[in-house]
A and B are shown apart, each in its own frame.
Chain A
Amino acid sequence: MENKIENIKNGLENLKNNNYKIYYFVPDTKGNAIASVANTYEHVKILRENGIDACLLHEKNDYLLYGDDKGSGIADWLGEEYAKLPHYSVEKNEVNVGLGDFVVIPEIFSNVMESTINFPAKRIVFAQSYDYILEILDFGKSWKDYGITDVITTSGSLSNQIKGLFGELNIHTIPCAISDKFTKSDIPKKPYIAIHTRGGEKTSRIIKSFFLKYPQFRWITFRDMKSMSVQEFADELKDCCLAVWVDDISSFGTFPLECFKTGVPVIGVVPNLVPEWLKGEGDTIKENGIWTNNVLQIPDLINIAFKSWMEDNIPESIYKNMEDSVKLYTPNLMNTVLVSYYKNLIKERQAELSSILINEEKQQPVVS
């Protein structure tokens, strides 16, 4: 009992003295660019810039910060500043969490939620993809069964979906930021079309179908925006006149927003979970791109949009709406919301631990 009280007191003391850690559990992408992982790194970077001790936590110890003959590392796709953030691994036994610490677990790892149920630290689920929530969750199980009470998401639409699944949880939306690496350029664009489809499966089908239906445009170059660093990606995108986005299960849509910020109009399929930036008035879709619900229409829409681009005929309203849509996702806003969320969470945790402490002390036997 005394040991437990001592631990609570230590936890409280650590929180009071800013001597706590926020561990972001993160999958190893093996050098591949994944928007949700990039967003996780962004959280850690922002928190550290604001004096909060956040870090990355890998399950295995074979992650690479810098590329070598074994493969690419974080520095190669995300940039050196992210590779320099503190990284730990469970496998290496580097982690010793206490009551004052926090562990942030991606939505897909329900197994980690289960295995950490007795962790003294506060655990938070970081949900960025609706589709992954149920990926390995056991039948009949809910996050609440694993002691999860707090969730952070990237959009209001996703928050609503989570509420629909798990009922009332403390859900906070922390908007993503579109990196300032994405900028507009006045340099004339080229007849290049950036294309990004989930898993890449639909990319070649769309391109083949477009060239078969519209052979007069065989001279257009499609750029599969994969396997490149964020900076390379931002630079390549500047050259493109249009972009294609097909990602049914996306919960946020970083790619189209990056295109918007670069001034590249997007032809895309409306994802199952419509993100806020794509919602117009009522049930309508915002006219900030060329949208369809049917992937089979994509080649026809490319034909229409490319012809319009060749004639400088893409409506100005689309460019204006693109600009308005991406304005909602600035690094400043993300910074403010994220830091404020953790400051409140730390206060709540202090209150929670204080309350536990009082109860524990009440239950202590009185020695006369």
Chain B
Amino acid sequence: MNNITLIIPVHSIDNGLDKLLDKAVKSVEDSIVKPDSLIIVHAKNAKIKKQVSGYKIPDVDIKLIENSGDTSFQVQLNLGVENVTTTYFSYLAMDDEVSKIWFKNVVNNIKYEQDAACFLPINVETDMNDNFIGFTNEIAWATGFSDKQGYLDNNAVLNYFNLTFDGMVIKKEVYDEIGGIKSNIKLTFIIEFFLRLTYNDYQVKVIPKIGYKHTNQREGSLFVEYKKTIGGEESQFWLKTAKKEYFFTEDREITAY
């Protein structure tokens, strides 16, 4: 028992996403330390249901949640979190992979860093051909980035936006207390979440291990497709919004751009 639930939100399995989802689930199966349970929150769709119903991972309790409502990332994730019964939960995008050492390192860090509410991996960003592009979250270990090396703090997040919560492991009670991911915020909801978490003085530690592999700019990605629809001014709008909204726990109504 390591007290971690992993959530995979699934909105579609078209355009090759079915194979990527298989790879994502396989990466969980290959983990040296596996989460206790896996929650797959999926859009109501017979094809998706058939695929996700076939997943079996030894020693992992798999729970399927069919979502007939909004299948945006934030809504699906929050729906999964509502069903978490472990102390911690994690999140894996359906087209990414978790590294086999990630949960092993998380468990080891939890043992010694009980004050930390949230752990982030160093993510490897690759292109569609699996070529290395760069890391994300590693900046937390750069000298002078934050007050405490290896941790995010509010001031650091306010000045640096290239952070990701892919693979994040967080205490469920903290996530609930600060209000979770806000679905009314588009584009910058990750930054807003980190700003809120650090504003509330929760410790966010980046474990300096490769925990997650993300394929960058993948055609068909929910986020990439959304980004194509917005211009520079709208990006600025969402950034300003994130910086205003993180003071509030509530997912307030945003006057759309």
Interface residue tally for chain A (C-beta within 8 Å): 14
Q: Does any Cβ of A come within 8 Å of B105's Cβ?
A: yes
- Chain B residue numbers with a CB within 8 Å of A220 are 141
B209 touches A311 (CB 8 A): yes
Residue from B99, B207, B210 in contact with A188 in the complex, judged by beta carbons closer than 8 Å: B207
Q: Does any Cβ of B come within 8 Å of A79's Cβ?
A: no
Residues of A contacting B: mostly: loop
> Contacts A216-B135, A311-B99 known; A190 to B112 CB distance under 8 Å?
no
Q: Does any Cβ of B come within 8 Å of A312's Cβ?
A: yes
- Chain B residue numbers with a CB within 8 Å of A312 are 101, 104-105, 209
B134 touches A188 (CB 8 A): no
A191 touches B99 (CB 8 A): no
Q: Does any Cβ of A come within 8 Å of B109's Cβ?
A: yes
Q: A168–B58 Cα gap in the complex (Å)?
A: 69
Q: A201–B135 Cα gap in the complex (Å)?
A: 31
Number of A-B contacts (CB under 8 A): 42
User: What is the CB-to-nearest-CB distance from A127 to chain B, in angstroms, rounded to a whole number?
Assistant: 41
Most buried by A among B122, B140, B210: B210
Q: Mark B150-172, 1 if CB is under 8 A from A, else 0.
A: 10000000000000000000000
> Contacts A216-B135, A312-B104, A312-B105 known; A190 to B149 CB distance under 8 Å?
yes
Q: A11–B21 Cα gap in the complex (Å)?
A: 87
- Chain B residue numbers with a CB within 8 Å of A188 are 105, 108-109, 112-113, 207
Q: Does any Cβ of B come within 8 Å of A219's Cβ?
A: yes
Across the interface, name the chain B residue whose C-beta is closest to A189: B208
B150 touches A311 (CB 8 A): no
Q: A190–B109 Cα gap in the complex (Å)?
A: 11
Q: Does any Cβ of A come within 8 Å of B95's Cβ?
A: no
Q: Does any Cβ of A come within 8 Å of B143's Cβ?
A: yes
Chain B residues 185-209 with CB under 8 Å of chain A are: 207-209
Chain A residues 165-187 with CB under 8 Å of chain B are: 186-187
A191 touches B112 (CB 8 A): no
Across the interface, name the chain A residue whose C-beta is closest to B211: A310
Q: Does any Cβ of B come within 8 Å of A218's Cβ?
A: yes
Q: A312–B143 Cα gap in the complex (Å)?
A: 23
- Chain B residue numbers with a CB within 8 Å of A241 are 208
B141 touches A221 (CB 8 A): yes
- Chain B residue numbers with a CB within 8 Å of A186 are 108, 111-112
A190 touches B135 (CB 8 A): no
- Chain A residue numbers with a CB within 8 Å of B104 are 312
Q: Mark A57-76, 1 if CB is under 8 A from B, else 0.
A: 00000000000000000000
- Chain A residue numbers with a CB within 8 Å of B134 are 216
Chain A residues 191-219 with CB under 8 Å of chain B are: 191, 216, 218-219
User: What is the CB-to-nearest-CB distance from B141 to chain A, in angstroms, rounded to a whole number?
Assistant: 5
Chain A residues 209-244 with CB under 8 Å of chain B are: 216, 218-221, 241
Across the interface, name the chain B residue whose C-beta is closest to A313: B101
User: What is the CB-to-nearest-CB distance from B11 to chain A, in angstroms, rounded to a whole number?
Assistant: 30
Q: A219–B142 Cα gap in the complex (Å)?
A: 4
Q: A304–B28 Cα gap in the complex (Å)?
A: 26
User: What is the CB-to-nearest-CB distance from A144 to chain B, in angstroms, rounded to a whole number?
Assistant: 55
A187 touches B112 (CB 8 A): yes
Residue from B111, B208, B210 in contact with A190 in the complex, judged by beta carbons closer than 8 Å: B208
Across the interface, name the chain B residue whose C-beta is closest to A187: B112
Q: Mark A23-54, 1 if CB is under 8 A from B, else 0.
A: 00000000000000000000000000000000
Chain B residues 64-102 with CB under 8 Å of chain A are: 99, 101
A residues within 8 Å of B by Cβ?
186-188, 190-191, 216, 218-221, 241, 310-312
- Sorted nearest first, the 5 A-B pairs with minimum C-beta distance are A219-B142, A191-B208, A312-B101, A219-B141, A310-B210
